[in-house]
Chain A
Amino acid sequence: MLLRLLIICVTLCAFGMPKSGRIPKHDHEVRDPIHVFIHFDSDERKVIDSRPLQRLRHIHQLALTYLIYPGATHKRFEHSLGVMDLAGKVFDIVTKEQNLSEDVRKLLPEVNQDKKRTYWRSVLRMAALCHDVGHLPFSHAAEDKLLPSGWNHERLTAEIILSNEMNSIWAGMTPPLRPEDIVKLAVGRRKAPPGMKFSRWEEILSEIIVGDALGVDRIDYLLRDSHHAGVSYGKFDHHRLLDTLRILLTPATSEPALGVEQGGLQSAEALIIARYLIYSQVYFHPVRRIYDIHLCDFLTQWLTAGKFSTELEVHLSMTDNEVTAGLREAAFDSTKPGHESARRIICREHFRVIYERNPSDLQINPESSSAIFHAAQKNFGAECVREDKYTQKGGSLDFPVLQRDGSCESSLALSETLNKIPVFAIDYVFVRPEKRPEAEKWLEEKRDAIIKEGRKKEDE
């Protein structure tokens, strides 16, 4: 004890002590239910304290899912911190000297230079932190309806990162960060502003965040969403997965990509199975989906001109809180715009499923749900029926796997499991609750004929 005190005194004498008597703190941490502690430095803290990040404290990660899974009230804010934490960890693992082959070093010279590595680690963590700042209230997926043409949340994210407000933070850092670099890594190649060119290195780093198979955005949301929803579906051994991530050469084309060591293949499979299960059980639960549709109906009536503004000041001032207040007000006042949809959410009078996609009907008509939707609309009126369709995005989950002999193979060539995970797709037709008994009877009688006769053959 005495020795420890002595060391502290000597250290303070040697390096000087601020007048206040307190040592300035540059390493900060917060507790997190998924990653236990999340550490960040003073520059990152400035970003965390900025308006765009603080706004995410008021954007639910899973929109109205809490109406079905009451625990799912977590916000984009803590997810953003989690993605930053994971991105930093992955960067440290994949750039570790013993984890890089000579071939990869040649193709990615950035990993050999300490200064560049430090710069890009910082860019990656900032991009991970900011990757969701453009999300609309309730993380709304219906961006094509609720934003002006040509806009999506990734474009808003890019605009915020490039804004003067954030630029002053990037410029004040040591070394200063280029906002364009942060945009690239935060939104990835597919959603990057037109004309933005990606180097190989930038492709790999953006893959660490937004990658389809092994990206940390997905890793964090699967773990976090399952934790808060109270389900086990999204859980997998992410510690093992992170530990075995590597930058490897794709077997067929020798281009570098994010992959895993052979020993991590099973945890990657578990991640992908977890995704399939949580999609089916949580994200695409039919009641969650219909609440989303009611919310979209409400917003198109409640918002000025039926759209969210893309002006940054307005965007930053609009959160779930303002929308929830609007919903509650409209639900109990029939003169307010969006009253009907708001009431359906607040009073839990949502539409009910009368039809959902199934393989036998698809054999007869690949658009069976649309055929039923249109027939139901004709029979019960457009205002009484809603349709919801979604098919999983992305391709087969192909990533390189490092074999024990040093060669790389495609994950799809090695894993029976990855090839067998079904593609996730839903089609639902909903009707007003008061019409449900009538609609179910109607469907029982007409279903086969509607599906058969509704097959479209609009040839040239």
Chain B
Amino acid sequence: MNRLKQDALLSELADQLRRRGSWCGETHMQKATYFLQDLRRVPLGFEYMLYKHGPFSFDLRDELTAMRADGFLDLSERGPYGPSLVPTRLSVELRNDFPKTLEKYGSDIEFVSDSLGNRNVAELEKLATGLYVYFEHASRSQVIRAKILHDLKPHISISDSLEAIKQVDAIVERSA
């Protein structure tokens, strides 16, 4: 997928997340894009690895910065998670150049935004790491996966991990 098409999808995702009440900082975009790419199979081409706050893509981080340089995203007012990423008028024009692409992946973006739009950073960390554990150990029981999640992120208690795993399973089921 070429860069501009990728940027059109990312700005649409930011827009949809914000419409559902998301703060839409960098972390929100990181985790939502992880779901969009790895769960919904939208071929964005970002490489993810398990990092400090769960699945993280350095490529996506660079791309979000490049989108700011090109005027597709702006930083808005500061808040508890730092600034929000706000799609600009230029990003709307960009999206107008790719109507078929947006139509093709529109339902995927809506699904991810519906599932994650109202989540804060701490919740997103749990869910995205839970999805990572799901991909690595799909056949394991929820309890075992919760234990794996807790081992990866000891500050997430076993009961919170189990809750996150259950929510991930529900999202995966709805996505199928």
Contact = CB atoms under 8 A, between A and B. Distances in A.
Interface stretch (B45-53, B107-115, B131-139, B167-175): B45-53
Main secondary structure of the interface of A (DSSP, over half): loop
Contacts of A393: 62, 65
Contacts, number: 112
A8 interface: no
A190 B53 contact: no
A45 interface: no
B125 A253 contact: yes
A396 B82 contact: yes
Contacts of B70: 362, 366, 391, 425
B83 to A, nearest CB: 5
B82 A459 contact: no
Contacts of B49: 189
B68 A254 contact: no
B122 A253 contact: yes
Given A366-B90, A423-B69, A459-B100, A412 B82 contact: yes
Contacts of B104: 460
A188 to B, nearest CB: 10
A449 interface: no
Nearest to B68: A423
Contact of A410 (B68, B80, B97): B80
- What is the size category of the interface that chain B forms with chain A? 35 or more
Contacts of B78: 412-414, 416, 419
Contacts of B94: 366
Interface in B52-90: 52-53, 58, 61-62, 64-66, 68-72, 75, 78-83, 90
B92 interface: no
Interface string A247-263: 00011111101000000
B97 A250 contact: no
A455 interface: yes
A459 B53 contact: no
Contacts of B154: 107
Given A393-B65, A395-B26, A425-B66, A412 B83 contact: yes
Contacts of B2: 458
B23 to A, nearest CB: 10
Nearest to A411: B82
B101 interface: yes
Interface string A179-209: 0000000000110000000001001000000
A105 to B, nearest CB: 14
Contacts of A460: 5, 98, 100-101, 104
Contacts of B65: 391-396, 423
Interface string B15-58: 00000000000110000000000000000000001011100001
6 contacts: A366-B71, A366-B90, A366-B94, A391-B70, A395-B62, A395-B64
Interface of B: 2, 4-5, 26-27, 49, 51-53, 58, 61-62, 64-66, 68-72, 75, 78-83, 90, 94, 97-101, 104, 120-122, 125, 154-155
